[in-house]
Amino acid sequence: MTSELTIARSIGRNVLQARGSDALADWFRRLWRGALPLLWGLVFPAIVLPIWFAGTYWGWLPQQILPTPSEVWSTLLDMLRSGELKMHTTISLLRVVYGFAAGTAVGLALGAAMGLSRRVDDYVRPLFTAIAQVPALAWIPLAMLFLGIGETLKIVVIAKAAFVPVVMNTSAGIRNVPLEFAEVGDTFKFSAWQKLRLVVLPGAIPSIFTGLRYGLTHAWIALVSVELVASSEGLGYLLVWGRQMFWLDTVLVAMIVIGLVGFATDKLLAKIEQHLQRWRIHGA
Amino acid sequence: MSGHLDVQHVSKRFQVDGKPIEALSDISLSIQPGEFVSIVGPSGCGKSTLLRLLAGLDRGFEGNILHDGKPIVGTSLDRGIVFQEPRLFPWATVRHNIGLGLQNAPIGRTQKEEMIEAHVRLVGLQGFERAYPHQLSGGMAQRAAIARGLVNRPQILLLDEPFGALDAMTRGKMQIELQQIWAHEKITMVLVTHDVDEAVFLGDRVIVLAPRPGRISRIFEVTTRRPRQRTDDDLIHVRNEILLALEAQEPKPSPLARSTGDLIERPAA
C-alpha cells in the first residue's frame, strides 16, 4: 500500500521469521553469546579453587578446619553412594515445596486483594509491613512454642519467607498496570472479570513472577535456617551435625548442595518466566 | 441512519490544587450521521476533554450530550475511540489486540475471526497478525489501534490526536488511509488534532476551539469534493483562514504575559 509499510514489513520479517542462509552463523553467535557469561562466571571459581588447593597443600590451616578438595570430593561421592545425601536433599526439597506452595497460595490471594482494592490494602498493609520486617529466623522461637518442633514449624517458617515477597510484588504488579489499558477495557464494556483476566493479570505477570522467584530464594534460605535450629534431618541439619563432629568435609558438601539446588531452582523459574513473557523479548 | 451526536451547552470543570478550572464552557454542537468533524485548537483548549466526554470516559459535566437522542452515560460499543498512543496490550498479538474489540460482541466465534481478518486487511496489516506490538513501527501500531476501534462496527469513531506521535511522512499516509476507511465505512468520525492541515484535509467541518475556558470560537465548512488533494486551492484557502483565526485568538505577546505565563486570564482577541 505504501512504502512505509513495505519497509516496516521487511523489518518485521527479519524480526519475525527465519533467518535464512545465515542461520548457522547466527546459531554460533547465539551459542557464543550464551556461553560468554558462563565463562565469566567461572573466573572466580578458577581463582579460588587453586588457592584452596595451595592452602591445604602447604597446610596454611589445620586439616580439621580446611579439608582438601579431594577429601570433600570423595565425601561427596561416598554420601551419594550411600544414599545419605539423597535422603537429606529430598527431605529439604519437600519442605521447601510444601512451604513455598502454602506461602505462595496465600501470598497470591492476599497480594491480589491488596492490589485490586484500596480498602483491603489500607486495612492490611501496616500489619503486613510489620510482619515482613521480622526475618523468618526471628519467628522461629515464638513459632516453636505454638507449633512444637515438628514439620509444621518448618513449613510455616518457610511459607512465611515465601509469602512476603509474593504479596509485595503481586500487589505492586496489579496496582502498576497502566490506567490507559483499563480505559481500553472500558471502551469495550469489559466486565470486572474480563478486566481482571484480559488486562490486570497479564499486565501484572512480570511482577508476580519476580515475587515468585524472590519467594523461592527466601524459602530456600529459611529452610536452611530452620533446619539449623530445629531438625534432625535435611541439609541444614547436615551442616550443624558436621560442625559438631568436626567433619568439615560434610559441612562443605552440604553447602555445595544447598548452593547448587538453589541455583538450579532459580534458573528453572527464570526459564518459565522467559517463556511466559515472550512478548517482552525485543529483537532476536 | 444512526451516529448522530448532539452536544448541548456542555461545561466541564476540573479541580486543580483545590481551585476549579473551567476546561469547557458552554459548548453546543450537532454532528450529523456519517459526518467527519475535525476539532482544532491550541493545547489547553479542552479538545481532548470534549472527546473523552463524547466517548463516555469522563463524567461530571453540565449540559447534555446525546447520541441518537439518548444521553451518554458511560462508554458504549457504538462509540469507538483511538487514542494518541496506540494503547495496544504489549502481551497480546496484533490479532488478539484487535479481537479485544469483539469480546462483548454478540456474534459467534467464526464470525469474530472473519471480522478480525477483514479489519486486519482494512488497515493493511496482513502478515502481521501474529506480531507483538513491540515488533511494529509507530504507524503500524496506530493502524492496529484503528482496526481495534472499528472492529465491532461502531456508529461513531472518536480519534484523539491519533497521528500526533508519528513522523510527518507517516502521518500524511495515515491521513489518506483514514480518509479511505471513512469513505468505506460511512460512519461518523470526530477527530481531535492540533494539526490544521490534517483537520482541513479530513473534515467536512472544522471546529476551532479557543482556550481558557475551552469554547467554540469559529466553525469552518470544508466543501471540497473527495477524494481530496492536499494541493486543492480551496483546502489551502480554508487552512489559511483557520490559521489566521487561531492567530487572532492568541494574545499579543508582551513581556509581562510571557513572564507570568498561563496564570493570567487572557481575553480572547
- Is the model's pLDDT at A138 over the cut of 70? yes
Average of per-residue pLDDT across B44-59 = 91
Best mutation site among A3, A5, A277 for testing chain B: the one with the most B CBs within 10 Å?
A5
Three-state DSSP class for residue A26: helix
Task: Tell me the per-residue pLDDT of A45-55, one tens digit each, with 9 for 90 and over.
Answer: 889 888 888 88
Confidence of residue B122 (pLDDT cuts 50, 70, 90): confident
Task: State yes or no: pLDDT of B31 exceeds 90.
Answer: yes
Distance CA B77, CA B160 (A): 17
Fold that domain B5-78+156-261 belongs to in CATH: Rossmann fold (3.40.50)
Least confident of A19-33, A185-199, B33-47, B175-189: A19-33
Nearest to B115 by CA among B78, B89, B150: B150
Q: Which residues of B touch A173 (CB under 8 A)?
A: none
B158-172 pLDDT tens trace: 999 999 888 888 888
Pairing between β-strand B5-16 and β-strand B188-193 as defined by DSSP bridges: unpaired
At A67, the amino acid letter reads P
Is the pLDDT reported for residue A144 higher than 50?
Answer: yes
**Residue B269's pLDDT is what?**
43
Q: A4 vs B170: CB contact, 8 Å cut-off?
A: yes
Long-range CB pairs of A182-187 (<8 Å, 24+ gap) are: A183/B57, A183/B83, A183/B87, A184/B87, A184/B89, A184/B100, A185/B100, A186/B57, A186/B74, A186/B75, A187/B55, A187/B57, A187/B75, A187/B79, A187/B80, A187/B81
pLDDT at residue A123 above 50?
A: yes
Q: Taking CB atoms and an 8 Å cutoff, what residues of chain A touch B92?
A: 202, 279
At residue B174, the pLDDT reads 87
- Compare A196 and A2 and report the one with higher pLDDT: A196
Residue A87 forms part of a structural domain: yes
Higher model confidence: residue A170 or residue B45?
A170
- Rounded distance, CA A84 to CA B149, Å? 64
Beta-carbon contacts of B74 under 8 Å, excluding residues fewer than 6 positions away, are A186, B56, B59
Distance between CA B143 and CA B125 in Å, rounded?
8
Exposed (0-12), middle (13-18) or buried (19+): which is A71, by Cβ within 10 Å?
A: middle
Instruction: Label the pairing between strands B70-71 and B5-16.
Output: unpaired
Contact B83 A180 (CB under 8 A): yes
Residue A217 lies in a domain: yes
Longest Cα separation, chain A: 80
- The pLDDT of residue A19: 47
Q: What is the DSSP string of A67-110?
A: --HHHHHHHHHHHHHHTHHHHHHHHHHHHHHHHHHHHHHHHHHH
- Indicate if the pLDDT at residue B262 is higher than 80: no
Query: Is residue A34 in some structural domain?
Result: no
Tell me the β-bridge partners of B8.
B64
pLDDT for A184: 93
Q: What is the mean pLDDT of chain A?
A: 85
Lowest mean pLDDT among A18-27, A248-257, B4-13, B187-196: A18-27
Q: Is residue A31 part of a domain?
A: no
- Give B-chain residues touching A194 at CB under 8 angstroms: 103-104
Q: Tell me whether A280 touches chain B (CB under 8 Å).
A: yes
The percent of residues in chain B predicted with pLDDT above 70, rounded, is 93
> Burial of A96 by CB count in 10 Å (0-12 exposed, 13-18 middle, 19+ buried)?
buried
State pLDDT tens for residues B103-114: 888 888 899 999
Distance CA B197, CA B240 (A): 9
Q: Under an 8 A CB cutoff, do B90 and A280 touch?
A: yes
Residue A284 resides in a domain? no
B215: nearest Cα among B9, B6, B4, B5: B9
User: What are the start and end residues of each CATH 3.40.50.300 domain in chain B?
Assistant: 5-78+156-261
Tally of structural domains, chain A? 1
What whole-number percentage of chain B has pLDDT above 90?
52
**Inter-residue contact A216 to A270 (CB < 8 Å):** no
The predicted-structure confidence for B212-260, as pLDDT tens digits, reads as follows 888 899 999 998 888 888 888 889 999 999 999 988 887 766 555 444 4
At A283 the pLDDT is 37
Average pLDDT over residues A190-198: 90
Q: Per-residue pLDDT for A16 more than 50?
A: no
What is the separation of C-alpha B180 from the centre of its chain, rounded to a whole number of angstroms?
16
A26 lies in some domain: no
CATH number, domain containing residue A108? 1.10.3720.10
186-205 in chain A: CB under 8 A from chain B: 186-191, 194, 198-199, 202-203, 205
- Residue A96: pLDDT band with limits 50, 70, 90: very high
Q: Could you give the CA distance from residue A148 to residue A146 in angstroms, rounded to a whole number?
A: 6
Question: Which residues are CB-neighbours of B82 under 8 A, at least 6 positions away?
Answer: B142, B145, B146, B149, B157, B158, B159, B160, B162
Q: Is the pLDDT of residue A132 over 80?
A: yes
Q: Which domain holds residue A113?
A: 71-278
What pLDDT score does B267 carry?
Answer: 53
pTM, 2 dp:
0.74
| Residue A284 confidence (pLDDT) above 50 | no
Query: Is A51 inside a domain boundary?
Result: no
pLDDT score, position B239: 92
Enter the ipTM: 0.83
Domain for residue A126, yes or no? yes
A50, three cell numbers: 587453586
